[in-house]
Amino acid sequence: MRGAKNLLAAIALGMAALIALVLTGATGAAVQGGTKAGAGRLDPKPGIEKKIDELLKQMTLDEKLQQLQLDADWEITDDGARAGVGSVFSLTDPVRINHHQHIAVEQSRLHIPILFAFDTIHGYRTVFPTPLGEASSFDPSVPTADDTIGARETATVGIKQIYSPMVDLSHEPRWGRIAEGAGEDPYLGSVFAAARVEAAQGADYSALDKVVTSVKHFAAYGQPEGGREYNTTDMSEQRLRNFYLPPFKAAIEAGAGTVMCSFNAISGVPGCANHETETDILKKEWKFDGFIESDYTAVDELIRHGIAGNGADAAEAALNAGTDSEMVSTNIRDNAQQLLADHRITMGRIDDAVRRILRVKFRAGLFDQPYVDQAKATDPASFVTAADRAAERAAAGKSMVLLKNDGGALPLDPTKSVAVIGPLGNDQHDMLGPWWGVGRDTDAVSLYDGIKAQDTSTTTFTPGCAMIDKDPPDLTPADECGSDAGFAAAVEAAQGAQQVVLAVGESRGQSGEAAARTEIDLPGKQQELIDAIKATGKPFVVVLFNGRPLTLTKVAASSPAILEAWFPGVEAGNAVADVLFGKVNPGGKLPVSFPRVLGQIPIYYNHEPTGRPCDPTFKWNARYRDLNFCDPLYAFGYGLSYTTFAISNLRLSSDEMRHNDTVTASVDVQNTGARSGDEVVQLYIHDPVASISQPVRRLRGFERVTLAPGQTKTVTFTLGADDVGFYDNSGHFVVEPGTIDVYAGDSSTATLTDSFTVTH
């Protein structure tokens, strides 16, 4: 996992807790995102509430407070289990899990089992592509495969809760955690959030191969100022509700059982002390009946945020806002008795928090089957099976994006010799990306091995320079590819081969938590390595391994072909080789814009219009003085294929959408090339005249289709009130009369267009 994190020291600021509810309550009712059903919300186990009533009647205050405590693996003790601690995270040894569970169930007074949790973000042991990569598939079957396998492996060791999905939308590529989410779009993010929850939980998460999900980080964690980890965010109500909340709402509608509140402040109020997001929106408006756990020491950090003077203030603020469980720090457990005596919190609120936690434990089946099958949990055959690897390889292939392919440089000819060059060319460690669960470097297939297995001629590997991947506590700046001493050998290897595959990008530690970067180009001297190989005149292609969008202007100017492979997971080398040699035709699309230069950030396709839209040929408008472009280098939804497609004949079922009606939009998509391939047909809308400025485009439908050469398919999308409406700045969902423009095509720059009118 990661290096141990220290409990932050409490800094007494001598201020009473002050929760400023700057955002108003709201009543919006429309459903957004991929799931429109609330099927997951049906309680599969009637009678639970009565059992909770009986337990609550018997519980002492101390026993109740223990339930609200969430310990890290290094904190849990036999005494803690005996006292009835509520939850434990990051403990992955099934023997220790059983040990503590036996103590909790057999020796604690009320025999309440512990809920064990883990960050299964993109796989437990069978590590899948990083989530931003998976979002590039535009195919919900990819996260479904990931979370189905991840849940099964996690549950096998006795862990019943995962701190996933991470559904934070982001317009901030400097932020390392953009790698963990689904990118910049609320609709795509919603579809992926729902798919992950449904796959991990199934219809009933007490099943032996299922876990309860915790959707995080609630809320607006994806927009830290300056891209700096944990930093503050200032957010209008409409932004919060139209961009950042929809993936959470979709996850809750899909049945997500728990939620993690975020470190960041939202307009001055930290996520774990935010009554509006936690209680008004999540618990009341969305009727969420599971529990909210704090992020790591986030309750304690309310002191540093400057909204609590001491631990008691922090506990009061968190509990009263709606936080039910405290991770690592212990302010609620330590101070609740005094806070009750001082009437600063109520027993009703404590009971509500305990009830929510017990509810999840009952639903998870922990009272019926608290123990893990140790034989199965310690059997190597339970993990990274051949079938799981095959599913991972397919998912990784679907997640890759072909960014450039001049003159058909790709696919490569497998009968010709290949020089694999670059610091990531024979790498296992970085292929797993940040948040690798309990994945092992030795599980991963390197690119060199993957190419060797498919190249019928000779394959060589020469690094050129090295990736170092310094994890904390080593805080010296990363020195990835810092030396060109190996370039001469790389050039020689290129000269000796018929074709070159250049494997460049980030180390896995350069993305993920606490990995913000001020530059997002290729680290170190990797561009110089590309230039040195280019100078040999040998045909070459670039394969990128990275967690976040990079500025690729120089790479694109110097390289004929670029394949964005992200961090592809355990089958990395095989999956990339499948694409390089054309066994798999790439069909992924970017779920996030790739800027030309850092200064363009934030740049995202679904921005609001301005009175003076960017125009590089004219001075007095929203442009940069030193950049002759307005667009990103690669737009949201963009990606190439080894074949070509034509999308045509956009037609609407009606030119009018009356109240509660739907309008369908259909297009024909044809494979006009010579190879079978996948296209992602995308549907965008724009409301040109509204009470508040609407984004220039909003994705409201997509479908990934596989077509044989010459084959045509009709794709139909259905638009309803929930698609054309939006949240206003009072938090109300409004559907306004007027024109809606529709665009269809193969990216966010699609040009096929038509429109209809919304009438009441």
* Residue ranges that bind ligand BGC, judged by CB under 6 A: 89, 119, 163, 216, 295-296, 513
Please state whether beta strands 663-671 and 712-719 pair in parallel, antiparallel, or not at all (unpaired).
antiparallel
Cα 745 to the center of its chain, rounded Å: 25
Backbone angles phi, psi at 739, to 5 degrees: -80, 140
**Among candidates 674, 665, 673, 672, which has minimal Cα distance to 750?**
665
Tell me how far, at minimum, the Cβ of 260 lies from ligand BGC, in Å.
6
Q: Smallest distance, Å, CB 216 to ligand BGC?
A: 6
Tell me, what DSSP letter sits at residue 248? H
> What are the strands, taking DSSP E only, across 234-277?
258-261, 265-266, 269-270
- DSSP annotation of 600: G
Residues 668 and 707: their CA atoms lie apart, in Å, by 12
Give catalytic status of residue 484 as yes or no: no
Q: Give CA torsion, residues 745, 747, 753, 757, to 10 deg.
A: 110
User: Which of helix, strand or coil describes residue 612?
Assistant: coil
Cβ-contact 55, 362 below 8 angstroms: no
Catalytic residue among 71, 73, 185, 295: 295
* Collapsed DSSP state (helix, strand, coil) of residue 1: coil
| Residue 168 or 723 with smaller CB distance to ligand BGC | 168
Continuous segment of H or E residues that includes residue 734? strand 733-734
In 3D space, the residue among 365, 410, 690, 341 whose CA is nearest the CA of residue 564 turns out to be 410
DSSP state letter for 508: G
CB 446 within 8 A of CB 427: yes
Token pair recorded at residue 582 = 């054309």
Helices 386-399 and 141-156, packing angle to 10 deg: 150
Give 609's DSSP letter.
P
Which residue in 501, 511, 510, 428 sits closest to 464, CA to CA? 501
∠ at Cα 753 (663, 404), nearest 5°? 120
Nearer Cβ to ligand BGC (160/216): 216
Q: Residue 750: phi, psi to the nearest 5?
A: -50, 145
Q: Which among 79, 80, 97 is positioned nearest to 89, based on CA atoms?
A: 97
Q: Which residues contact 541 (CB under 8 A, 6 or more apart)?
A: 409, 410, 412, 499, 500, 501, 502, 559, 560, 561, 562, 563, 580
Q: At what angle do helices 347-363 and 331-341 cross, to 10 degrees?
A: 140
- The CB density around residue 322, as the number of other CB atoms within 10 Å, is 29
Residue number of the CB closest to ligand BGC reads 163
Do the Cβ atoms of 366 and 211 come closer than 8 Å? no
Total residue count of the chain as it appears in this document? 760
Nearer to ligand BGC, 162 or 724 (CB): 162
H or E stretch at 700:
strand 698-707
Distance (Å, whole) CA 478 – CA 467: 9
Strand, coil or helix: what is 125? coil
β-bridge pairing 677-686 and 698-707: antiparallel
Q: Peptide bond preceding 219: is omega within 30 degrees of 0, i.e. cis?
A: yes
End-to-end CA distance of the chain: 55
Whether the Cβ atoms of residue 681 and residue 703 lie closer than 8 Å to each other: yes
Q: At closest approach, how far in Å is the CB of 295 from ligand BGC?
A: 5
- Phi, psi (degrees; rounded to nearest 5) at 464: 80, -50
Instruction: With H, G, I as helix, E, B as strand and everything else as coil, classify residue 201.
Output: helix
Taking the C-alpha atoms of residue 544 and residue 133, their distance in angstroms, rounded to an integer, is: 12
Please, is 131 exposed, middle or buried when counting C-beta atoms within 10 Å of its C-beta (0-12, 13-18, 19+)? buried
Of the pair 89, 638, the CB lying nearest ligand BGC is at 89
Name the DSSP letter for residue 126: S
Report the distance separating Cα 653 and Cα 666, nearest Å. 8
* Shortest separation between residue 360's beta carbon and ligand BGC, angstroms: 16
Catalytic residues: 295
